[in-house]
Amino acid sequence: MRRLQVQEDGIRLDKFIALSLNSPRSHARRLIVAGRVYVGGKVVRIMTRPLKMGAWVEISAYEADAVPTVQSAELPVLFCDRYILVLNKPAGLLSEDDRYSDNSVESMAPELLASLDEKKTELWLVHRLDAGTSGVLIMARTPMASGSLGKAFHDKQAKKTYWALCQGTPEHATFEVDGPIGRVKGTQHAVIPSGRPALTKFRVHNAKNGFCWIEAMPETGRTHQIRVHLAHVGLPIVGDKLYGGTRYIEHDNKRHLVPRTMLHARCLRVRHPKSGEKMTFEAPMPDDFRDILSLLDFSC
């Protein structure tokens, strides 16, 4: 644990961590959201919480040092033309700007286009991935493309496939969860009667030793949908503390920290907004995902 004492009464938690670690505010925010920050020995996820002078804030030294600042050059381009930009979003990076973050795909992608000598750098987000989720993210480069892609996602014509590493043993090789999702507390969501309709189809890629590698195909786009649906059926995603996933894997008599929620947007199928051509974009398995697979004795 890295232990820090507050020297200024009333300073916000996210600002205090950023200043103490000499890191961007986005770094501090991700640590807080991940439940890796403790005030008075208790986990605190309120980024704006004011601190009292003399209070102790604790962060795991490993976790505090392990969240890198992503640069635009580190945003792999899967496809780019006059109408769309498709990226392989790294874990730990927000999709869109918010008031707490220094970096996001939305703020960094125009810089990336400029580095590719593209004259037009304006972009529109048409869907989002959680900060902890890696994989395929598509952006529009014209208002026409934004409208076309937005309609494709709304009308369920854009088909998404994810990989998830989960705890538990599924009862069936294929299954689906049809359960309405709504907010229950803070950022946490759940299957509740008053929620919005949500449907996810699943296929088990492999299962052993109390863990499983699952392919998820959401038919709708609710907040935390795959995470909520898997937790609802007793298969929380490894690393997803918010929904009951373990943060550690035991291997060779050692405890290995899971760096994030093990969810990867592997594939997106959608028609090109201008030509109408059916297009498929795939993001390769990231190293951290492969490492956890190896710890769980799954062959990639």
**Domain limit, last residue, from 30, 48, 65:** 65
Model confidence pLDDT, tens digit, residues 242-271: 999 998 998 888 888 898 999 999 999 999
What tokens appear for 238 in the block?
């490894």
Domain end: 32, 65, 98, which one?
65
Pair 222, 253 in one domain: yes
* Stretch 44-69: mean pLDDT: 73
User: Exposure string (b/e) for 208-238, b if CB count within 10 Å is 16 or more?
Assistant: eeebbbbbbbbeeebbbbbbbbbbbbebbbb
Same domain, 247 and 230: yes
Note whether residue 90 is domain-resident.
yes
What's the pLDDT tens digit per position in 81-94? 999 999 999 988 88
Same domain for 153 and 55, yes or no, is no
- Pick from 72, 75, 200, 229: nearest CA to 138: 75
Question: What integer pLDDT is reported at residue 165 of this predicted model?
Answer: 97
Active-site pick, 9, 117, 130, 252: 130
User: Does residue 43 sit within a domain?
Assistant: yes
Model pLDDT, residue 19: 86
Mark whether 36 and 168 lie in a shared domain.
no
Q: Is 300 a domain residue?
A: no
- Total residues found in the chain within this entry: 300
**What residue has token string 């786009």?**
221
In the chain, how many domains are there?
2
d(C-alpha 93, C-alpha 95), whole Å: 7
Collect all residues with Cβ–Cβ distance below 8 Å to 154 and sequence separation of at least 6: none
Residue 36: its pLDDT value, please? Answer: 82
Judge whether 46 lies within some domain: yes
Question: Which of 65, 84, 118 lies at the terminal end of a domain, its last residue?
Answer: 65
Tell me the H-state helices in the chain: 13-21, 25-33, 61-65, 105-115, 143-154, 225-232, 287-295
Residues 35 and 76 in one domain: no
The verdict on 37 and 108 lying in the same domain is no
Compute the average pLDDT of residues 266-292. 96
CATH number of domain containing 115: 3.30.2350.10
Rounded to an integer, what distance in angstroms lies between the CA atom of residue 74 and that of residue 92? 12
- 65 vs 63: CA distance, rounded Å: 5
Residue 257 lies in domain: 72-295
Residue 247 lies in a domain: yes
Determine whether 130 is an active site residue: yes
On whether both 98 and 246 belong to a single domain, the answer is yes
Q: How many CB atoms lie within 10 A of CB 73?
A: 10
The pLDDT tens digits for 135-147 are: 999 999 999 999 9
Give the pLDDT band of residue 31 (cuts 50, 70, 90).
confident
DSSP 8-state secondary structure symbol assigned to residue 288: H
Binned at pLDDT 50, 70 and 90, residue 65 comes out as very low
Residue 237 DSSP class: B
Does 127 reside within a domain? yes
Instruction: Specify whether 12 is located in the same domain as 47.
Output: yes
Residue 98: pLDDT band by 50, 70, 90 thresholds? low
pLDDT band at 73 (very low <50, low <70, confident <90, very high): very low
Answer for the pair 137, 126: CB distance below 8 angstroms, yes or no.
Answer: no
**DSSP bridge pairs for 178:** 199
Task: Identify any residues that bridge with 137 across adjacent strands, giving them in sequence order.
Answer: 87
- 87 and 190 in a single domain? The answer is yes
Task: Please choose, from the candidates 87, 83, 67, 66, the residue with its C-alpha nearest in 3D space to the C-alpha of residue 75.
Answer: 87
* pLDDT the model gives residue 68: 45
- Are 180 and 213 within one domain? yes
Identify whether residues 219 and 196 lie together within a single domain: yes
Strand 134-140 with 263-271, pairing: parallel
Residue 107, domain member (yes or no): yes
Whether the full predicted model's pTM is greater than 0.85, yes or no, is no
Same domain, 122 and 91: yes
User: For residue 99, what pLDDT is reported?
Assistant: 55
Is residue 214 assigned to a domain? yes
The average confidence (pLDDT) of the chain is: 89
Q: Summarize the confidence of residues 28-35 as an average pLDDT.
A: 76
User: pLDDT above 70 covers what percent of the chain?
Assistant: 92
Task: Kindly report the three-state secondary structure assignment for every residue of 129-183.
Answer: CCCCCEEEEEEECCHHHHHHHHHHHHCCCCEEEEEEEEECCCCCCEEEEECCEEE
pLDDT digits (tens, 9 = 90+) for 101-140: 557 899 899 999 998 888 899 999 999 999 889 999 999 9
* CATH number, domain containing residue 26: 3.10.290.10
Instruction: Identify the three-state secondary structure at position 279.
Output: strand
For residues 169 and 186, the model is more confident at 169
